[in-house]
Amino acid sequence: MAEAIAFYTLSILILGLGVAVITTPRTVHSVVFLVLNFLCVAVLYVVLRAEFLAVIQILVYAGGIVVLYLFVVMLVNLKRQPEEHQDPRRLAKIGLGLSGAMLVELAAIVVYSYSREPSSVTAPSPAFPVQGNVEQLGWLLYTDYLIPFEVASVLLLVAMVGAIILARREL
């Protein structure tokens, strides 16, 4: 019963902080709410007995990603007026087509994931017994969820290349 109360309390807190991230007018306050949100998600992982994910959540998201957000906030001149003209080099139709293709790809992944029958997490094969939490996570990540894992890595790569291009254009 205590776990259910902790779960629902943390869930409400996470949703409230998520709303605060997108509704706060000040960017630095939004980043602070985001850090608190990431920390609450880490506590939720601890409640769900996924300690490895909690540590990774704190190290990667609350540590690394938020530092990147703060660098972006410091690099972008927020007091500058928005541009009044459209860039003639902007290719909106190609961007719309690529985002549609990405949506179709994500829908295909969801259909493929739900059409497969789930595998057993406790004993994947007698040759490789899975013992702990980290082993179970690794086994699932590289067997059943390999395609979504690869798609997420490609999306992160595209975001990183886009950030580099935007930063280089300003410098």
Question: Which of 34, 68, 55 is closest to 133 using CA atoms?
Answer: 55
- Hey, CA dihedral for 101, 102, 103, 106, is it positive or negative? positive
For residue 53, pLDDT beyond 90: no
> What is 2-75's CATH topology?
Four Helix Bundle (Hemerythrin (Met), subunit A) (1.20.120)
Sign of CA dihedral 109, 59, 36, 52: positive
Q: Tens of pLDDT along 107-138?
A: 888 888 788 766 555 544 555 555 677 787 78
- Residue 105's contacts (CB-CB under 8 Å, 6 or more residues apart) are 151
Domain with CATH 1.20.120.1200 in the chain: 2-75
pTM of the predicted protein model: 0.56
Q: How many residues does the chain have?
A: 171
pLDDT at position 160 over 50: yes
Over residues 29-41, the pLDDT tens digits come to 888 899 899 999 9
Q: DSSP assignment of 63-102, as one string?
A: IIIHHHHHHHHHHS-TTSPPPSS--TT--HHHHHHHHHHH
